[in-house]
Structure 1
């Protein structure tokens, strides 16, 4: 019996399917709002306008249905056409470009759980990435991506809606945190993961991935340091709590959380409140239903995370505030624009506050690089060494 062949990766067809899905999702609340507003107008006009209303509603409904059907037809045509192209032209048509990779990261943040459920090829696969492609946990592949590996590995996990390219955000030629740490003898491993999935699911898979990475690394691993930006810090906490982490956790010396919302993110909570407000009026209620489609990853950012910090590791929070003076009365509340200082600190025993800095600036801020450099060269006192 012949084994079924796996479906080849096709980002062209996947993009077309995604656009058709977005047209479907966005056209429905637009249609509902249109009908509600038209209903108000026709009620004012009275019974005499009833025949006109019937015609209007029929034409409007047919138009919206036609737009959705047209988008699905176009998606099928594009999919059929892309299947005729060589695989190398379609497998990474979007993610092979810098702009496309950024778009895919954002889309996964919004709908990543749905993309995975639908089997859409734009759903990000967890793993270390090199040149915008996932690197398998095999020695030969890792050696190719890291031609000069060391036994000191620093794992970088990005935040919601980001990809590994976020670590080069507005670096102004300075390079990334990872590049700076490489000069100190460490090997940076930058992850990409589907930020629309639940934090717990990503943490569980990351714990297994790091176990596989430890086994396949080209040279013996002697030390691991963890760095997470925003949601990435929560994923690292989850990974450290899994049973399989026992295979690599003894090698972890530090875990640094850059702008991580340990106590929840105000913006994520604001989206939930906005959805509640939109439900109050019939005209806006369809848009509340759109907000309710936000990914599981975004929903996770609404709540506090109570997992205990992994023992035997130096945990460090790096919080930022837009205020030039971190002691200003408003500095803690505004935080980095997305995460408050108190949420970034939460129960982490050691905290550094970086003033005049926004949430995304933490990704390449030189002062953060200095903090990381100090941490990865730190050795625990002999009494605490494992």
Structure 2
């Protein structure tokens, strides 16, 4: 599919852009352009691909997404290389997960090649928004929503796919430091048969109240337990977990349909096994977490995701009290895995897996 290019009438001035990306933080410094592609079942599917100025989207008040929440998204990054080029990390997996989310939300799948073309075009167009700060990247947000105007509970027949970019620094304000997390007692993120494995906005909306509770308790993030027994650790509000143990084993909660299948998670499983560790995908209870932290069996807990990369969990808090993991600092494996992953994404080490796509 060919993309129509719409000239930007007033691109951001160089001085303004440079000032904005000097210390961009995360999630608020948007680039100049966006990609859009429309879908209409009556017109045979995907059509009208274009790249143009980032602008407001006009929606009918009866647009299906506003009433029935048919919406999905992805989170990706473009990374700078020393030679001036850019790369994407496992973008094909983002395309596949996007379509898995689409199937769960009764939305049309987008051809993987078209998804990747849209992402690459957006990055190429706004490459000069890449921040030079440590840990800087272009955060890429592809998303799709139901745009058809109607009232009635059924899948829509019209959708819009969009790609926007954000100049980003570190996800956490304090940089790479151990985080303190709160164990949610009264709320769950997802239930069996629900949408937990889909990257859809409703899952994150459901996490906002417990996340606010975590912040009120002096914590950085919330961790959710399973919906049935309220004993099995699942994931944080936006990150997967790994438990590094003294016997050389690593446990990460298994994907049962209630946990988002993270791409960073999948990458870490492979990398930890390369370190000679026995990585197992199996249930891990909150009681086991506390007991192994207190008796020294648990050396580290790692949280991982596209935005935060690899972040150590230092303290876990709940109404039953707190416990500290290891020394409460940045553990050896957290530091090593983060460095390996970041070096790979930035092209500083050999890509033996074929994970890096140069732009």
TM-score range, shorter chain: under 0.3
Q: Which has the higher strand share?
A: 2
Higher relative contact order (CA 8 A, sep 6+): 2
Structure whose alpha-carbon radius of gyration is higher: 1
Question: Which structure: greater helix fraction?
Answer: 1
